[in-house]
Structure 1
Amino acid sequence: MTTPIDHIVLLVHDLAAATATFQAAGFSVSTRKDATQKGGASYRFVCFADGSYLLLTAFTPEGAASHRLGPILAETEGPGDWSLTVPSVDKASAFGAAAGVTLGATHDVANDVEGGHWALRLLLTGIGAGGDDALPFLIEDVEGRTLRIPAAVPHANGATGIAELTVAATDPEGSARRVAALAGLPQPLGARLTVAPGQSLRFVPLDPQGLGTARTGGCTGIRLSGVAAPLTGIEGSALRVTAGVPA
C-alpha cells in the first residue's frame, strides 16, 4: 500500500539510543541492507502498514556540516523533513511552477539491496530549495519501492500509519495551497489539507521561540493511527511523535 505521505526524517544524535527508545515504546525498527552505504549518515526504519515510515537519521559531524538538515539537528532532535510521493516529479514540477513554487534540484537516487535494485527521483521543494521551507521533498519511485522500504512488521503498540503531520509555516494557508498544487490536489479552503482518506496535513504559524523546524519551517509533529495508549518515552519528547487521531 502506498500513501501520499512517504516518510518523515526524524533527526537523532544517537541512533542506537533512539532505536532503543522506539523499541521500548512498542515499535518494530528495521534496517535496509544497501550495497553501498551513504557516507556521513546512518538510518533505521519504522515502517507502517499504510506504506509510510519514519526514518531515524543520525549524522557524523562531517555529515551534519555538509547536509541541508545539519543546522536543524544542531538545535534539536526531532522532525527534520518530510516527503510526499507523486506519480511524476516532472508533472509535479510543472504544477508547482505554475503555482509560483520555488523549486530546487532534482536528484536521481538508487542502490542495490539484497533481492534487487531500487531507484527514485527526488525533487526538493522545501528545505534546501530556497523558497518555502514548510514544503516537502517529492519522491517518484522508478523501481523497487518494496525494496526501498523494508517490509512493515506489526508494532506491539498497534501503530498502523501516519494520520497527520503538523507543519510550521510562515504563511500556513499559502503553504497548504502550494502543497496541494504540487500534489495535484484540489485547493484547500484554509490551512488544513487532506491528502488521502485518514491522512492530513495541518499548517500552523512559526514559533519564533521554538527550535528547529518550529522556528524555521517544516514538520513539527507526527500523529500516528492505530495507537490507543500514550507512547512511553516518546510523547512529550523532542521527537514529537504522538498517538491517536485528532478530532
Structure 2
Amino acid sequence: MTLTLDHLVVLADDLQQAVDQYIARGFVVTPGGTHADGLTHNALIVFGDSTYLELIAFLDAADTRDNVWGWRQYGGKGGGLIDYCLVTDDLEQAVAGFKQRGLPVGNPTAGGRKRPDGMELRWRSARFWQAGRELPFLIEDITPRELRVPPSIPHPNGVTGMHELLIAVADLPRLSRTFSTLLDCATPASQPHRRYDATATSFQLGRHVLTLAAPASKASPLQQRLETLGLGPAAVTLTSANGASTAGRSVTQTWFGSALGSTDRG
C-alpha cells in the first residue's frame, strides 16, 4: 500500500474569479468539472511532481446544504487553503490498518466528478473524525488517476511542485504522535519555527514534507489562524525552477484569506 500527497484544496467564493486570479499569478489552470453531489465545481493547477491545487467553490452560495467535508462554513472569508488529501492505491487496506492502529477513520465512500468534456470520474474516499482538518482525507482512484489529474503544463511563473505543507495545530505533542501512527514512523523531535513564531515537527512523506506547527506565543500568526479558522492546513511552500536562492528554490506561501506572495529561501 502506498500513501503520498495528492492535492491541496483551495476554497473560493467564486470559482471563475479564483481562476482569473491564479492565471494572473502565472499559473496554468485546467477546468475540472462538477462533483457528483451537485454542490461544488472545481479547477486544477497541476504540478510536475504530480500534486495539484484544487480550486473549488460551491455552485450556489445561497444553498445552505453542505458537502461531506463541511467546507461551506468557511465561505465568505476570502478564500484559501481549507483541506488536503493523500492518495493510496488500496483504500480498504489503508482504512483497516488505521483502525487497527486506533485512528478514528470512517469507511470508504463513493465519489466522483463530471469533467467539462463529459468524462465521468470515479473514486473512493475516507475521512478521519476530527474537530478541525489537521488530518488529511484519503482518496483511491477507481477510474485511472490520469483522467482525474491531467498532465502538468509548465507554469509561466516557474512553479514546478510542492515542497512543504504547514498544518496549524494546537496540541503539537498529541498531533505528532498521531502523525507517527498515521505514517507508521518514529516521532521527530520538535524544533522552533522562527518564521511563524511556532514550535514545529516535520514528517517526510515521499518527496514532500508535512510540518505540524503550534504557536509559541499569542503574537504568532498561527494563533490568529487558530482563533478565526481553526485547525488545519495554513501554508504551502511551492518549488520553482526560477528561484533566486542558493538552493535554486523560491518559496510561495498561501494563507487562507490572503493572496499569494513570494520570498526567497536561503
2:159 counterpart SS class = coil
Q: Cα distance, 1:24 vs. partner?
A: 1.2
Gaps of 5+ in 1: none
User: What is residue 206 of structure 2 aligned with on the other side?
Assistant: 196
What is the distance in 2 between the residues matched to 1:116 and 1:65?
Answer: 26
User: What is residue 31 of structure 2 aligned with on the other side?
Assistant: 31
Percent of aligned positions with the same letter in both sequences? 25
1:219 counterpart SS class = strand
User: What is residue 91 of structure 1 aligned with on the other side?
Assistant: 93
Gap change, CA 1:244 and 1:107, over 3 Å in 2: farther
Counterpart amino acid of residue 46 in structure 2: C
Is the Cα–Cα contact under 8 Å of residues 84 and 139 in structure 1 kept in the other structure?
yes
What is the distance in 2 between the residues matched to 1:246 and 1:231?
Answer: 6
Structure number with larger C-alpha Rg = 2
1:51 aligns with 2:45: no
Gap change, CA 1:100 and 1:239, over 3 Å in 2: farther
User: What is residue 10 of structure 1 aligned with on the other side?
Assistant: 10
User: What is residue 124 of structure 1 aligned with on the other side?
Assistant: 127
Where does 1:103-122 land on structure 2 (aligned, <5 Å)?
103-111=105-113, 113=115, 114=117, 117-122=120-125
Gaps of 5+ in 2: 190-200, 216-221, 245-249
Where does 1:49-88 land on structure 2 (aligned, <5 Å)?
49-59=48-58, 60-62=60-62, 65-67=65-67, 68-88=70-90
1:24-64 CA-to-partner distances (Å, cap 9, x unmatched) read: 11100001356x76522221110111111001111122456
Is the Cα–Cα contact under 8 Å of residues 208 and 215 in structure 1 kept in the other structure?
no
Is the Cα–Cα contact under 8 Å of residues 103 and 131 in structure 1 kept in the other structure?
no
What is the distance in 2 between the residues matched to 1:19 and 1:121?
Answer: 26
Counterpart amino acid of residue 81 in structure 1: D
What is the distance in 2 between the residues matched to 1:72 and 1:111?
Answer: 22
Q: Cα distance, 1:158 vs. partner?
A: 1.1
1:209 to 205, 211, 224: 224
Gap change, CA 1:132 and 1:13, over 3 Å in 2: closer
Counterpart amino acid of residue 99 in structure 1: R
What is the distance in 2 between the residues matched to 1:193 and 1:78?
Answer: 23
What is the distance in 2 between the residues matched to 1:240 and 1:96?
Answer: 36
Structure ranking higher in strand proportion = 2
What is the distance in 1 between the residues matched to 2:264 and 2:179?
Answer: 22
Is the Cα–Cα contact under 8 Å of residues 3 and 51 in structure 1 kept in the other structure?
no
Counterpart amino acid of residue 52 in structure 1: T
Q: What's the RMSD between the two structures over aligned residues?
A: 3.2
TM normalised by structure 2 equals 0.76
User: What is residue 223 of structure 1 aligned with on the other side?
Assistant: 237
Gap change, CA 1:111 and 1:45, over 3 Å in 2: closer
What is the distance in 2 between the residues matched to 1:160 and 1:220?
Answer: 20
Counterpart amino acid of residue 122 in structure 1: S
1:163 counterpart SS class = strand
User: What is residue 136 of structure 2 aligned with on the other side?
Assistant: 136
Is the Cα–Cα contact under 8 Å of residues 224 and 244 in structure 1 kept in the other structure?
no
1:4 counterpart SS class = strand
Higher relative contact order by CA 8 Å / sep ≥ 6: 1 or 2?
Answer: 1
Aligned residue pairs, count: 238
Is the Cα–Cα contact under 8 Å of residues 114 and 121 in structure 2 kept in the other structure?
yes
Gap change, CA 1:153 and 1:135, over 3 Å in 2: same
TM normalised by structure 1 equals 0.81
User: What is residue 100 of structure 1 aligned with on the other side?
Assistant: 102
Counterpart amino acid of residue 124 in structure 1: R
Q: Cα distance, 1:72 vs. partner?
A: 2.2
Gap change, CA 1:105 and 1:46, over 3 Å in 2: same
1:54-93 CA-to-partner distances (Å, cap 9, x unmatched) read: 0111112245642301112344421111001122222222
1:54 counterpart SS class = strand
User: What is residue 171 of structure 2 aligned with on the other side?
Assistant: 171
1:102-147 CA-to-partner distances (Å, cap 9, x unmatched) read: 223421123565596532210111xxx2456300001112321000
Gap change, CA 1:167 and 1:57, over 3 Å in 2: same
